Amino acid sequence: MGTPEFAVPCLDRMVKEGYDVVGVVTQTDKPKGRGKKLTPPPVKEYALDRQIAVYQPSKLKKADFEETLKAIQPDLIIVVAYGKILPKYVLEYPPYGCINVHASLLPKYRGAGPIQWCVINGEEETGITTMYMDEGLDTGDMILKKKIAIGRNETAGELHDRLASLGSEVLKETLEMVVDGKAPRTPQSDSGATYAPMLDKSTAKIDWHKSAKEIKDLVRGVNPWPVAYTYYKDEMMKVWFAEIGEECKNGIPGTIVKYLKHKGLAVKAGDDCCVLIKEVQFKGGKRMDIDDYLRGHSIEYGEILS
């Protein structure tokens, strides 16, 4: 059971390891792009290419999905970024249970946005946790954990790809332990738990009163979606990449201080430091290096980004 690109490496690993994947359950096709063309989820595309049966229930109510379970009779259900809450009757159906591959070091960052929020919050490491699912939100007993360091300039998109690959490795080890009857069950501690909600566009709005590091981490954490933004003279300016600059004590947060060639546009943050904006995008335009943008456009110093 999975939907986005993140889930594909886990499904691919199961196929290559020779497990009998009796079916793939994924979300319904969604309209995409300017033409709003119905587009299948990446997991569905992978499954159809390999003649694996695909099921796309709009709801998981017992009346809607129980007959599918009875038809395919799974011994074990693997859940990777599926996007729906599994009801109790599904959790209890397979004899080996339901196992989730989660992109954080549980109990930290339970929820739908663990990759983005660990970057936004400036974490230095994250990882993959496999666990037996229960009725709570990512609260089940843990099986395996693997850690990785987060790069200083790594974006959520880059981290996503590394975690997707790591997830398939951890799943492989987890399945071997389950088959051998040696999978541990380590209860989670609620005392260290944190929640990582799904992102929306408002998450990406830059608050210039925050520290330069917090702003930089936000820019990294919402790249490639929804992309950090601010306003220059009431026009939205997306910020794709930013660095921490030099000390800057004069002016109010959000003030454009100066332009440093090959370094960025210096903007005062809330901690007497500058943020160096290095890649921008304005409405109707392309994503551009700030040096390239300023060859054809002007930005006024002293203007306050809001």
Q: What is the CATH number of the domain that holds 274?
A: 3.10.25.10
Asked if pLDDT for residue 182 goes beyond 90, the answer is yes
Statement to judge: residues 135 and 237 lie in one domain: no
Q: Which are the contacts of 46, defined by CB distance < 8 A and separation ≥ 6? A: 8, 11, 12
Give the phi and the psi of residue 44 in degrees, each rounded to 5. Answer: -65, -45
Q: Does the residue 303 lie in any domain?
A: no
Asked if pLDDT for residue 4 goes beyond 90, the answer is yes
> Cα–Cα distances in Å, from 300 out to 55, 251, 272?
55, 15, 20
Statement to judge: residues 143 and 79 lie in one domain: yes
**pLDDT tens by residue, 236-294:** 999 999 999 999 988 899 999 999 999 999 999 999 999 999 999 999 999 999 999 99
Cis peptide before 184 (omega within 30 of 0): no
Asked if pLDDT for residue 33 goes beyond 90, the answer is no
pLDDT at 87: 96
Q: Which domain holds residue 239?
A: 201-296
Instruction: Check which CATH number belongs to the domain holding 168 and give it.
Output: 3.40.50.170
Is the torsion defined by CA of 91, 95, 97, 98 positive or negative?
Answer: negative
Angstrom distance (rounded) from CA 35 to CA 299 = 34
pLDDT at 250: 85
Angstrom distance (rounded) from CA 206 to CA 216 = 10
Q: Which are the contacts of 249, defined by CB distance < 8 A and separation ≥ 6? A: 272
Statement to judge: residues 128 and 239 lie in one domain: no
Asked if pLDDT for residue 159 goes beyond 90, the answer is yes
Statement to judge: residues 157 and 233 lie in one domain: no
The pTM score is 0.96
